[in-house]
A and B are shown apart, each in its own frame.
Chain A
Amino acid sequence: MAVTTPAKLDAHALRADFAYLEELVNGSPIAYLDSASSTQKPKQVLDAMREFYEHSYANIHRGVYRLAERATEGYEGARSKVAAFINAPSTREVIFTRNATEAINLVAYGWGLDNLGPGDVVIVSELEHHANLVPWQYIASRTGASVRAIPIDDLGELNLDVLDAIAREGNVKVVGVGLVSNTLGTINPVERIAAFAHAQGAILVVDAAQAAPHRAVDVQALGCDFLAFSSHKLCGPGGAGALWGKAELLEAMSPFNLGGSMIRSVALDKTTFNELPYKFEAGTQAIAEAYGFGVAIDYISEIGLPAIEAHEHELTAYALDKLAELDFIKVFGPPVERRAGIISFDVAGVHPHDVAQILDWEGIAVRAGHHCTQPLMTRLGVAATTRASFYLYSLPEEVDRLVAGLLKVKKSLG
């Protein structure tokens, strides 16, 4: 069998698409190492959105005039791009949301309120972003269900051995897990979790916010029932995200938001809901943003998800090696083989806020805090960490600058 290595991407060349990465601050470009929070936007996406707003924008669906038709085509075209991007069997199964958070809330409310009750168990993990934890906690408390978390080991990887014990505590109805941890970069074995969930008769909700931008995601291969991600983390605009769900589940679900567009017919005493996916898209959508989401998917797909993954892997390996040479740095999380381009670490004796502040003066943008994963911080025994994360435009030179910056942090506050 021929082994194809993915075409390498040229990060230096790609940076020309991102205005901010080309700007000089105090004579050098900013090392933007916070793409896990949100990515910079390439001019291809920005230009396309401007063009769309200028020449193709109107409200969608009900317009008879040509402009509205063009806008609808742009919006629905983006839906097809999202569907193809995650290998969804049908575009009917792709719902535009504001972001991954809203997508997960849609499932928690739309599916959870009707299907959870006392004795039922929702399983999440200690790694979860609050977006895939708090909605489940809330809906569980409303319905009398309980929430259990899969613990992690000291490398920040899920300990799946506990699943059977958790399953004995009640009826497992939902398993909600992230594909990639936004704090530790852990890549979770979702296929294995899918097998467990389905053996329990539970639905599997996958938070792909940190995976979809960086590696090929295939909902059919994963075996999940729902999958959520955001546009703004993959070079697209904010205000757009997607939920994919199996059609038979979405069809049986109650609507989430109610109002215009999501109806088939309305009388004063009764409303019938629209078909999929419109049943879940009440009100005027972020039309141009959905369109821009589609353009961003084109942009990263053209570079190639395997090439992006390989590039980030190389950078992560390099950064882990470099950081290992610093005895005052403690890196959290798994080895590079099972880690995406995210590195959280502790600087001995210096609070992450102070670390990030001093790095900022060196032109290095990193995030400091709990990264919306407070239970994970508790598990790690820290209040916060400093986090560097990579994307297709990240460079090894930026890792070098990070290391030099950390030496400066150590010198001034350590």
Chain B
Amino acid sequence: MSEFEQLYREVILDHYRSPRNHGLLEPRDAYAEGQNPLCGDEISVTVRFGAGDVIEKVGFEGQGCAISQAATSMLSDLVTGRTAQEVAAMAKDELLEEIGIPLTPVRLKCALLGFGVLKVALHKAKGTPLPEEWGTSAGDITLV
């Protein structure tokens, strides 16, 4: 397998070219946007809840590399049907396993941008905790 095929796996390219859950929801119950200050990638996430804080639908938009956009698309599928609390507690490894490609530290930040923004959106709407390692800030994400 070439380096290209390893990183840009078919499934990544598929999510990049036809992202799932693309477009911001209206009406919506939760919203956040964030930037990766390293590269200027941007992602906005909206969420609609059903009964019992269950995520009924996620909608996102963004500007960024194939990895950041595909990862957010995969994430949006992954979290639909879970509760805000479950997603707030979700470890990043679950998403990284789904993405399933070796990532350098820089590309890791790309892959996790949408994940971070979603956690901020849930925090703002439902008061769910932010990842501990973030302290009182939003970690590597600049909120805008």
Is chain B found bound to chain A in the same assembly?
yes
Q: Are A351 and B38 in contact (CB under 8 A)?
A: no
Q: Does B67 contact A (CB under 8 A)?
A: yes
A353 nearest CB neighbor, chain B only: B65
Tally chain A residues at the interface, Cβ within 8 Å: 16
Complex Cα gap A357–B107 (Å): 10
Q: Are A351 and B65 in contact (CB under 8 A)?
A: yes
Which of B2-10, B71-79, B91-99, B115-123 forms contacts with chain A? B2-10
Chain A positions within 8 Å of B4 at CB level? 358, 361, 412
Q: Are A383 and B8 in contact (CB under 8 A)?
A: no
Q: Are B42 and A383 in contact (CB under 8 A)?
A: yes
Q: Does A377 contact B (CB under 8 A)?
A: yes
Complex Cα gap A358–B40 (Å): 19
Interface residues of B in 1-41 (CB under 8 A from A): 2-4, 7-8, 13, 38-41
- Using a Cβ cutoff of 8 Å, how many contacts connect chains A and B? 48
Complex Cα gap A352–B41 (Å): 10
Which of B2, B3, B13, B110 is close to A353, meaning CB atoms less than 8 Å apart?
B110
Q: Are A353 and B67 in contact (CB under 8 A)?
A: yes
Q: Are B7 and A357 in contact (CB under 8 A)?
A: yes
Chain B positions within 8 Å of A351 at CB level? 41, 64-66
Complex Cα gap A307–B39 (Å): 34
Complex Cα gap A358–B41 (Å): 18
Q: Does A413 contact B (CB under 8 A)?
A: yes
Min distance, Cβ A59 to any Cβ of chain B, angstroms = 36
Among A351, A370, A384, the one with the most B-chain Cβ atoms within 10 Å of its Cβ is A351
Which of B64, B67, B107 is close to A383, meaning CB atoms less than 8 Å apart?
B64
Q: Does B137 contact A (CB under 8 A)?
A: no
Q: Does A105 contact B (CB under 8 A)?
A: no
Chain A positions within 8 Å of B107 at CB level? 353, 357
Q: Does A354 contact B (CB under 8 A)?
A: yes
Q: Indicate whether A369 sits within 8 Å of B66 (C-beta atoms), given known contacts A358-B4, A412-B8, A413-B8.
A: no
Chain A positions within 8 Å of B64 at CB level? 351, 353, 383
Min distance, Cβ A143 to any Cβ of chain B, angstroms = 26
Complex Cα gap A241–B67 (Å): 37
Chain A positions within 8 Å of B3 at CB level? 361
Chain A positions within 8 Å of B67 at CB level? 353-354
Chain A positions within 8 Å of B2 at CB level? 361
Q: Are A369 and B40 in contact (CB under 8 A)?
A: yes
Min distance, Cβ B105 to any Cβ of chain A, angstroms = 13
Complex Cα gap A284–B72 (Å): 48
Q: Does A368 contact B (CB under 8 A)?
A: yes
Q: Interface on chain A toward B: helix, strand, loop, or mixed SS?
A: helix
Chain A positions within 8 Å of B66 at CB level? 351, 353-354, 413
Min distance, Cβ B103 to any Cβ of chain A, angstroms = 11
Chain B positions within 8 Å of A353 at CB level? 39, 41, 64-68, 107, 110
Complex Cα gap A383–B68 (Å): 13
B66 nearest CB neighbor, chain A only: A354
Which of A374, A412, A413 is close to B40, meaning CB atoms less than 8 Å apart?
A374
Q: Are B7 and A368 in contact (CB under 8 A)?
A: no
B106 nearest CB neighbor, chain A only: A353
Chain A positions within 8 Å of B63 at CB level? 383
A368 nearest CB neighbor, chain B only: B39
Min distance, Cβ A381 to any Cβ of chain B, angstroms = 11
Complex Cα gap A384–B37 (Å): 11
Min distance, Cβ B108 to any Cβ of chain A, angstroms = 12
B3 nearest CB neighbor, chain A only: A361
Chain A positions within 8 Å of B68 at CB level? 353
Complex Cα gap A184–B3 (Å): 31
Min distance, Cβ B34 to any Cβ of chain A, angstroms = 13
Min distance, Cβ A403 to any Cβ of chain B, angstroms = 18
Interface residues of B in 45-81 (CB under 8 A from A): 63-68
Q: Are B41 and A383 in contact (CB under 8 A)?
A: yes
B39 nearest CB neighbor, chain A only: A369
Chain B positions within 8 Å of A413 at CB level? 8, 13, 66
Which of A354, A370, A374 is close to B65, meaning CB atoms less than 8 Å apart?
A354
Q: Which 4 A-B pairs have the closest CB atoms?
A: A353-B65, A351-B65, A383-B40, A370-B40
Chain B residues proximal to chain A, CB less than 8 Å? 2-4, 7-8, 13, 38-42, 63-68, 107, 110
Could you list some 13 contacts between A and B, CB below 8 A?
A351-B41, A351-B66, A353-B39, A353-B66, A353-B68, A357-B65, A369-B38, A369-B40, A383-B39, A383-B41, A384-B41, A413-B8, A413-B66
Q: A352-B39, A384-B39, A412-B4 are in contact. List 6 more A-B contacts (CB 8 A).
A: A357-B107, A361-B4, A369-B38, A383-B42, A383-B64, A384-B41
